[in-house]
Amino acid sequence: MALELPPLPYAHDALVPYMSKETLEFHHDKHHAAYVTNGNNLLKGHALENKPIEEIAKASFGKEAGIFNNAAQVWNHTFFFDSMKPKGGGALPGELEKRIASDLGGVDKFKADFIQTCVTQFGSGWGWLVAKGGKLELMKTPNAENPMVHGATALLTCDVWEHAYYIDYRNRRPDFVKAFLDNMVDWGKVAQRLAAAK
């Protein structure tokens, strides 16, 4: 099978009180799982069936919406869940902090701008920190779109589809994104991705 559902890298209740066990049960076990199932059904017998997920997403973008939407959402969700850890947030590793200072005006400005990026994504979508052309940038994408189809390397994402936060935050998307940055992000993982992107 081309698409797989990785287990969460932590227990369902590991991000409480910032993200509830119920949210992760719905988000990972139902929404994420459905993208895997639907994507694999669409890929049966297709030339892309056993290709790497990144290749499936890039090849189907703008051409085969069903395959792209499901494959990209599997990738996006796996990346999102892997961007968090229990007792996350806190200080950023040195090299990441330096790059954010030079490219995005410092950590406080970056956080404020990241929240704004996520909040102003109309409807469903994603807010991203990316590396592109040797620089860090913020990006927002609708629905299943992600940076790889725009020639950028994802370093961090926040899911702003309502199912990512509505159980815990109702319509308070800014509060969710702030809690994500301050208490859930695995900045060490973001720094590793930055180092690999060079």
Same domain membership, residue 157 and residue 71: no
Same domain membership, residue 117 and residue 189: yes
Where in the sequence is the domain holding 68, given as residue range(s)? 21-81
103-132 mean pLDDT: 98
Give residue 1's pLDDT band: very low, low, confident or very high (50, 70, 90): low
Same domain membership, residue 173 and residue 125: yes
Residue 2 has pLDDT above 90, yes or no: no
Tokens for 151? 């020639």
Residue 198 has pLDDT above 70, yes or no: no
Same domain membership, residue 118 and residue 51: no
Reduced to 3 states (helix: H, G, I; strand: E, B; else coil), residue 156 is strand
pTM over 0.85? The answer is yes
Position 86 in a domain = no
- What is the C-alpha separation between 116 and 16, in angstroms, rounded? 24
DSSP 90: S
- What is the C-alpha separation between 77 and 30, in angstroms, rounded? 12
Please classify residue 111 by burial: count the beta carbons closer than 10 Å to its beta carbon, then call 0-12 exposed, 13-18 middle and 19+ buried.
middle
Position 164 in a domain = yes
155-183 mean pLDDT: 98
Same domain membership, residue 135 and residue 69: no
Residue 41 has pLDDT above 70, yes or no: yes
Same domain membership, residue 142 and residue 111: yes
36-54 mean pLDDT: 97
82-86 mean pLDDT: 98
Task: Tell me the CA distances in angstroms from 152 to 67, 113, 118, one per residue in order.
Answer: 21, 18, 18
Unique residue bearing structure tokens 């200080």: 91
Picking from 156, 13, 28, the residue whose alpha carbon sits closest to that of residue 89 is 156
Number of domains in the chain: 2
Residue type, 105: G
Picking from 76, 162, 174, the residue whose alpha carbon sits closest to that of residue 116 is 174
Same domain membership, residue 189 and residue 112: yes
At 89 the pLDDT is 98
Write the CATH number for 65.
1.10.287.990
Same domain membership, residue 131 and residue 190: yes
Write the CATH number for 134.
3.55.40.20
Same domain membership, residue 124 and residue 164: yes
